[in-house]
Structure 1
Amino acid sequence: MRDLQPAPMPLRNPTPADRSGPDRLSLVVPMYNEEDNVLPLVAQVQAAMAASPWPWQLILVDDGSRDRTTTRIREAVALCPDRIGAVILQRNFGQTAAMQAGIDVAEGNIIATMDGDLQNNPHDIVRMVRRLLDEDLDLLVGWRRDRQDNLWVRKVPSWCANRLIVAVTGVRLHDYGCSLKIFRTSVIRQVRLYGEMHRFIPTWMATVTSPERIREEPVSHFPRVHGQSKYGLSRTFRVLLDLLSMYFFARYRAAPGHFFGRIGLLCGFGGAVTLGWLAWRKLMDGEDIANRPLLMLGILLAVIGVQFICTGIVTEMLARTYFESSGRRTYLVREVLGGAPGPGEGSGA
């Protein structure tokens, strides 16, 4: 049987007469070793989408599963090829990459993502899409108020991670880890997902849209019935490292010299104060400072400060080269009104 290719799947025209409007919905579900959950998930989605006033498609992404998940996905596609499509990845790339693969082939102007473990409720999707459209939002995040997971393995680490992410990023949400999210396609495609970035999608979205257009919605959550959880305490360390990377790119992508420059100025100031104080003691009191550890600390801080400042200058040059050579802008336009010219259309452009 030939492999399913990650090609766009046509959205079928809605048949009921009450389906109207240009909005179209794509559901993206990454799956890894979920053979017992594929067909029940498809059945749940079909039942939930019966209430959808929009044409919809379901995209199942097999993230290099080692069990019979791929076979089950092929069976699901064969049962309903006009509504269900799939992307089969060559190996396990991780949930973030699988989610990006589904987003890349989605044809709807609204994208919903959810887990493939049957813990999310597809019946929440229609309500969430309605709210996103009615309130003109760019992202609506699910909030698992009554989370059905192990307390110490899942709930406590998740609670700590959510509080830490809010403190660092300033984007106030209760549940960053919920995979049930609703996006505007035009906005989520301005963000490329790498590594383990799926945890920080709201924060990355806040770099291309206003945080006021990001909201959360209480959703149902069920205990896992089939398969094994892919999460655990070991992911806490990845969250910390990803959080540092996310903070840097979200705050200093266009001006990285500010990040390194602040550290350089702080270290340089500390080194200057330390060396100045030692020089004062040497000149005024004749104190021997050659063997003092404080002298080495002052020199080290001064050298580190210069290095960080130079690194900041280099990163500024690289950032400017990147934006100028790639044609990317440091801003994003939602729409242009009246007689104002679009980007690149004004005089001297």
Structure 2
Amino acid sequence: MDVSIVIPLLNEEESLPELVSWITKVMTENQLSYEIILVDDGSTDLSWQVIKKLQREDEHVKGIKFQRNYGKSAALNEGFRSAQGDVVITMDADLQDSPDEIPEMRSMILKDGYDLVSGWKKKRYDNTLTKNVPSKFFNAATRSVSGISLHDFNCGLKAYRKKVVKSIEVYGEMHRYIPVLAKWAGFPRITEKVVEHRPRKYGVTKFGISRFVNGFLDLASITFVGKYGKRPMHFFGLWGTLCFFLGFASSVYLVVAKFLNPAISLTNRPAFFIALTLMVIGTQLFLAGFLGELISRSSANRNQYLVEEKLGL
């Protein structure tokens, strides 16, 4: 199969028939074999009934329905599990992403050799202050931390090599950081493409300002797990040792100063308590690293690594 199109949705009953018709038109014109995977993330309107009707009319349409709302990351993860196409496309269901972009994005994966192509909505129709300013700050922070030069990490329109989506797990609010997940998984060939952003035709946006707070917390999580998930002692042990050594050295200095000048009172010096606090924090960090190592070594996937190729085996 050439293309799998994964579309997470929540209460988009009005836009689904038009979106599926548009995708079908593009796929037919480009003579591509395809599947459309619609993931209903606990809609409370008639979205699922619309999906069932579309599936009866077109065998290319497939549906997944959650019992309740789990979030966009969960919907994408389930869609990725089911996808069979050589190239996997993700897009939103609100008609703000154009299916006309699919053939060129697919070509960038197969012909240009990229692992992931992310859309960049350079000209937006929802350029409000509450969305635009936090989004720019969020993207700048993510670029700085991840080292991936993308302008719009949160764009729903992306293209992936099949192996990429089968090698990552998306949860929480991690859908914003799929390029980061892909890079940590060993797929560094990531680029972006300027895509058309269309005005919302039906309904209202499902995302609020809280997504940015959750997004930064997830960025911290994914950065730590990506670097130290299999070696937590390298992080906690390093900082624990530094804190303990600094506190211990300060304590030794203060005790020596006390012996040289008995008139000095240790308990009246803030530096003494700071030194003790550093030693306690250092010990706790070291123990956290030790416990992390025990948990990591007991994990079922402790020796699970992505192997790109084998020869003679």
Q: CA deviation at 1:78?
A: 2.1
Is 2:203 the partner of 1:218?
Answer: no
After TM superposition, what 4+ stretches of structure 1 lie above 6 angstroms from structure 2? none
Structure 1 counterpart of 2:289: 312
The aligned runs of 1:32-71 (5 Å cut-off) are 32-71=10-49
Report Cα offsets for 1:179-230 as digits up to 9, x if no partner.
111112222211111111100000000112242x111111111121211111
Q: Distance in 2 between matches of 1:307 and 1:237?
A: 28
Q: Distance in 2 between matches of 1:150 and 1:133?
A: 33
Q: Distance in 1 between matches of 2:102 and 2:186?
A: 22
Is 2:309 the partner of 1:335?
Answer: yes
Structure 1 counterpart of 2:210: 234
Report Cα offsets for 1:285-306 as digits up to 9, x if no partner.
2211123232222111101101
Q: CA deviation at 1:42?
A: 1.0
**Does structure 2 conserve the Cα–Cα contact (< 8 Å) formed by 1:31 and 1:61?**
yes
* Counterpart AA for 1:262: L
* Counterpart AA for 2:219: L
Report Cα offsets for 1:297-346 as digits up to 9, x if no partner.
21111011011112212212322232xx54733x4221234x4x3xxxxx
Q: Distance in 1 between matches of 2:197 and 2:32?
A: 24
Q: Distance in 2 between matches of 1:270 and 1:148?
A: 53
**Does structure 2 conserve the Cα–Cα contact (< 8 Å) formed by 1:138 and 1:209?**
no
**Does structure 1 conserve the Cα–Cα contact (< 8 Å) formed by 2:117 and 2:159?**
yes
Distance 1:88 1:210, change over 3 A: closer
Query: Scaled by the length of structure 2, what TM-score is found?
Result: 0.94
Structure 2 counterpart of 1:344: none
Q: How many residues align?
A: 312
Structure 2 counterpart of 1:346: none
Distance 1:180 1:285, change over 3 A: same
Is 2:89 the partner of 1:122?
Answer: no
* Counterpart AA for 2:195: V
Aligned-CA RMSD value: 1.6
Q: Distance in 1 between matches of 2:88 and 2:77?
A: 11
The aligned runs of 1:104-253 (5 Å cut-off) are 104-211=81-188, 213-253=189-229
Is 2:3 the partner of 1:25?
Answer: yes
SS at match of 2:268: coil
**Does structure 1 conserve the Cα–Cα contact (< 8 Å) formed by 2:164 and 2:187?**
no
Q: CA deviation at 1:156?
A: 1.5
**Does structure 2 conserve the Cα–Cα contact (< 8 Å) formed by 1:49 and 1:123?**
no
**Does structure 1 conserve the Cα–Cα contact (< 8 Å) formed by 2:143 and 2:150?**
yes
Structure 1 stretches lacking a partner, 5+ long: 1-22, 342-349
Question: What is the aligned counterpart of 1:79 among 57, 76, 80?
Answer: 57
Q: Distance in 2 between matches of 1:280 and 1:52?
A: 81
Q: Distance in 2 between matches of 1:70 and 1:76?
A: 10
**Does structure 1 conserve the Cα–Cα contact (< 8 Å) formed by 2:138 and 2:212?**
yes
Q: What's the % identity of the aligned pairs? A: 37
Q: Distance in 1 between matches of 2:166 and 2:244?
A: 41
Structure 2 counterpart of 1:6: none
**Does structure 1 conserve the Cα–Cα contact (< 8 Å) formed by 2:41 and 2:66?**
yes
Q: CA deviation at 1:34?
A: 1.1
The aligned runs of 1:285-300 (5 Å cut-off) are 285-286=261-262, 287-300=264-277
SS at match of 1:107: coil
